[in-house]
Amino acid sequence: MKILFFLTCSIFFIESLAAQTVRIPASYSNIHYDESGRLYFQKDNQRFYADTAKANYSLQQMLGNPQGGEDGITLNFGSIKGTLVYGFIPYGKAPHPLPVYRLSAPLQNGKAVMNIKRDFRDPYDMVGWQQSGIMHIGYRVIDERGMILYDGVVSVTGKGPFAVVPAIYDGPYVNNVTHNSAVLWFKTDSPVQASVKVNKKQFSDVTPQTHHELAITGLQPATEYQYKVQYGSLSQTYSFKTAPKPGSRKPFVFAYTSDSRHAYGGGERMVYGANAYIMKKIGALAYQQNAAFLQFTGDMINGYLTNKEEQHLQLTNWKKALEPFWHYMPVYAGQGNHEALTYSFKNSAGATVASIDKFPYAATSAETVMQEAFVNPANGPESEDGNKYDPDASQLDFPSYKENVFYYSYDNVAMIVLNSDYWYAPQVSRESATSGGMHGYLMDNQIAWLKQTIDKLEKDATIDHIFLTQHTPVFPNGGHVGDDMWYRGNNDKRPYIAGKPVEKGIIERRDEYLDILINRSKKVLAVLTGDEHNYNRLQLTKEVNIYPDNYPHKKLNVSRSIYQINNGAAGAPYYAQETAPWSSHTKAFSVQNALCLFYVDGKKVKMKVINPDTLNEIDTIELR
């Protein structure tokens, strides 16, 4: 009787443990939970456990839990040792308000007090808080080694005592701009029912929240609109311009770059995760050149993390660098390999044996973090669910493509943004036993969606030029000849789904991709890529050798020429040129930081490439 009771209890105990674990997507292989619910990857009777190390930092921690007091504000950053630097942000007094840091205080037990009465009395009251009782204090958290961890903002009311009120720490940003609509969005550090006023019309949140995303509709083409963001008793005012009526064929400019993960040399080149120094210069240059939008395709941050809150901190640091310009000009961000968010399986020495996109996908995948961190058009494919390898048609076994694969248009130009780091398992090209997406590989459902989208845009009489962009070069030239869409010519490389390799290898899939762009389209002009931290261009013609020796598969018919424009020079540490079969056709190779500016004038497109740091020209070419 006693034994039976014990057995029943044990079974109940094991079942309840199993109930606490999340279903492992059927698209993976050799991934299991152990008796205590710990996730592991099994290979040759060996178990490699998922890294459960805590995050170094989180975004929530950097918000500093501000508390008002009689003389000022106390911020608390938990375990961080270092320094707090602070000063006012003059919203409304400058078109691109930035904090003017004026004072610093050591963090003691992670805390610092900003004494407003003492620090910001005359002649330091540049925002008039002594009259209005309103101020926004920008703060910078610096660790003990001098690395900048975060630039934040706390909004304050009162003349002493002081009260903390909801602050916008991220945004406001303008996105999804069309000829008659736009989306304005921002994040606040505490819930508030915010609104945006455009053209005397008010668009409001339904409930108090921290992520605010308001669709502005009923606008006129090619018109500048002021917008006023109201949050509690505070407001900020900026403006944006709608796109011209599709097919107007008026001259305009757009900007392209990628790869801005943090670099060396200290200062703002390493604001935890992002090269904020170069990104800010890129934002300023794009805005100064009147860019209608900035397309940025992958590796915004250092990333490769296992914790979502830490990933959000790095992405916020990246956005903050562009924020002063993004108030006015949309920025569209695509996914790269560094945006990976994984379960990382380690050996006993602590080395990573394999890693996979984190699940449950809807809550914690790299794709979900991208969707939470950015606002992009939601017109892409659903996911890779339902592809011919999907092991379980009734369940979701792949992350979403929502807002990481999409397209948009501006006048007579269409931009198709693809994800060549989808469902990314960083080691899968060497360790396929886990299954997972492979760097550089465009999977089946994405390719099917691309075909449909190209067909639609080919028929659209308002569109003259189609640009494609994905993080990985079709033809790597420096830094990634060993992977991207080439793998040194090794077509064996491919993703694995549920333990099985997919049918088409990387070179075959590259050729299918190019076949769509070249032979299914007359409008595709160029593929904009990154990943390699340099600038170069390559004109693909039938003269260019794109195959390894003795390639056994069907070869591509290059019936017309297209360009590959690689610009991964937005601040990540450089890569020099390597040798590839197409090297003699690779032009204008440069490791200077670079912004590509496309000047579209009806049927003509000219590109200028400018160093955003020094403003010298790197390259110029008429593309069409």
Encoding tokens for residue 422?
């989808």
Part in contact with Fe ion (CB under 5 A); list of ranges 56-64, 283-291, 330-338, 366-374: 330-338
> How many binding residues for Fe ion (CB under 5 A)?
4
Q: Binding to Fe ion by residue 484, rule CB under 5 A? A: no
Least Cβ distance, residue 534 to Fe ion (angstroms):
12
Least Cβ distance, residue 376 to Fe ion (angstroms):
19
Cβ nearer to Fe ion, comparing 82 with 473: 473
Least Cβ distance, residue 25 to Fe ion (angstroms):
24
Site for Fe ion in 152-171 (CB under 5 A): none
Cβ nearer to Fe ion, comparing 299 with 397: 299
Encoding tokens for residue 581?
């079969």
d(Cα 468, Cα 437) in Å, to the nearest integer?
A: 20
Site for Fe ion in 264-323 (CB under 5 A): 299
Least Cβ distance, residue 337 to Fe ion (angstroms):
4
Least Cβ distance, residue 21 to Fe ion (angstroms):
32
Part in contact with Fe ion (CB under 5 A); list of ranges 104-112, 328-336, 485-493, 504-512: 328-336
Exactly one of 464, 484, 531, 619 binds Fe ion (CB under 5 A); which one?
531
Cβ nearer to Fe ion, comparing 274 with 457: 274
Q: Binding to Fe ion by residue 464, rule CB under 5 A? A: no
Beta bridge partners of 173: 185
* The CA-based dihedral angle spanning residues 293, 439, 386, 394, taken in that order and rounded to the nearest 10 degrees: -110
Cβ nearer to Fe ion, comparing 236 with 258: 258
What is the per-residue binding string for Fe ion in 233-262, x denoting contact by CB under 5 A?
------------------------------
Least Cβ distance, residue 338 to Fe ion (angstroms):
6
Cβ nearer to Fe ion, comparing 273 with 336: 336
d(Cα 535, Cα 59) in Å, to the nearest integer?
A: 32
Burial of 87 (0-12, 13-18, 19+ CB in 10 A): buried
Cβ nearer to Fe ion, comparing 129 with 304: 304
Part in contact with Fe ion (CB under 5 A); list of ranges 197-205, 331-339, 430-438, 505-513: 331-339
Stated as kind and residue range, the H or E segment containing 373 is helix 366-373
Q: Which residue has the tokens 């505070």?
A: 234
Sort strands 103-106 and 82-88 into parallel, antiparallel or unpaired. antiparallel
Instruction: Please name which of 107, 109, 88, 85 lies closest in space to residue 99, comparing C-alpha atoms.
Output: 88
Part in contact with Fe ion (CB under 5 A); list of ranges 158-166, 207-215, 234-242, 333-341: 333-341
Burial of 432 (0-12, 13-18, 19+ CB in 10 A): buried
Least Cβ distance, residue 569 to Fe ion (angstroms):
12
The number of beta carbons lying within 10 Å of the beta carbon of residue 2 is 6
Cβ nearer to Fe ion, comparing 412 with 470: 470
d(Cα 501, Cα 20) in Å, to the nearest integer?
A: 31
Least Cβ distance, residue 342 to Fe ion (angstroms):
15
- b/e map of 144-155 (b: 16 or more CB within 10 Å)? eeeebbbbbbbb
Cβ nearer to Fe ion, comparing 170 with 299: 299
Cβ nearer to Fe ion, comparing 405 with 463: 405
Cβ nearer to Fe ion, comparing 176 with 593: 593
d(Cα 71, Cα 161) in Å, to the nearest integer?
A: 6
Exactly one of 336, 473, 479, 612 binds Fe ion (CB under 5 A); which one?
336
d(Cα 38, Cα 51) in Å, to the nearest integer?
A: 10
Cβ nearer to Fe ion, comparing 31 with 596: 596
Cβ nearer to Fe ion, comparing 471 with 509: 471
d(Cα 166, Cα 170) in Å, to the nearest integer?
A: 12
When CB distances to Fe ion are compared, the closest residue is 531
Cβ nearer to Fe ion, comparing 299 with 323: 299
Cβ nearer to Fe ion, comparing 136 with 439: 439
Least Cβ distance, residue 446 to Fe ion (angstroms):
18
Encoding tokens for residue 603?
């049927």
Part in contact with Fe ion (CB under 5 A); list of ranges 202-210, 401-409, 523-531, 598-606: 523-531
Give CB contacts under 8 A, 24+ apart, made by 154-157: 154/64, 154/66, 154/73, 154/75, 154/189, 155/234, 156/68, 156/73, 156/116, 156/129, 157/133, 157/233
Q: Are 563 and 572 in contact (CB under 8 A)?
A: no
Cβ nearer to Fe ion, comparing 431 with 532: 532
- b/e map of 210-249 (b: 16 or more CB within 10 Å)? eebbbebeebeeeeebebebbbbebbbebebbbbbebeeb
Part in contact with Fe ion (CB under 5 A); list of ranges 40-48, 119-127, 425-433, 525-533: 525-533
Least Cβ distance, residue 310 to Fe ion (angstroms):
19
Part in contact with Fe ion (CB under 5 A); list of ranges 113-121, 203-211, 277-285, 329-337: 329-337
Q: Are 56 and 71 in contact (CB under 8 A)?
A: no
Q: Binding to Fe ion by residue 567, rule CB under 5 A? A: no
Least Cβ distance, residue 428 to Fe ion (angstroms):
15
Helices H / strands E in the chain, number of each: 10, 35
Stated as kind and residue range, the H or E segment containing 132 is helix 129-132
Encoding tokens for residue 432?
């396929």
Part in contact with Fe ion (CB under 5 A); list of ranges 80-88, 105-113, 318-326, 336-344: 336-344
Least Cβ distance, residue 195 to Fe ion (angstroms):
39
> How far is residue 470 from each of residues 417, 583, 621, measured CA to CA in Å?
6, 21, 22
DSSP E strands: which ranges in 281-360?
294-297, 331-334, 342-346, 352-357
Least Cβ distance, residue 370 to Fe ion (angstroms):
14
Cβ nearer to Fe ion, comparing 275 with 337: 337
Least Cβ distance, residue 530 to Fe ion (angstroms):
7
Which phi and psi angles does 523 have, rounded to 5°? -95, -20
Q: Binding to Fe ion by residue 337, rule CB under 5 A? A: yes
Part in contact with Fe ion (CB under 5 A); list of ranges 108-116, 332-340, 582-590, 593-601: 332-340
Sort strands 182-192 and 209-216 into parallel, antiparallel or unpaired. antiparallel
Q: Are 314 and 373 in contact (CB under 8 A)?
A: no
Return the ∠ at Cα 184 (arms to 182 and 188), rounded to 5°.
170
- What are the residues binding Fe ion (CB under 5 A)? 299, 336-337, 531
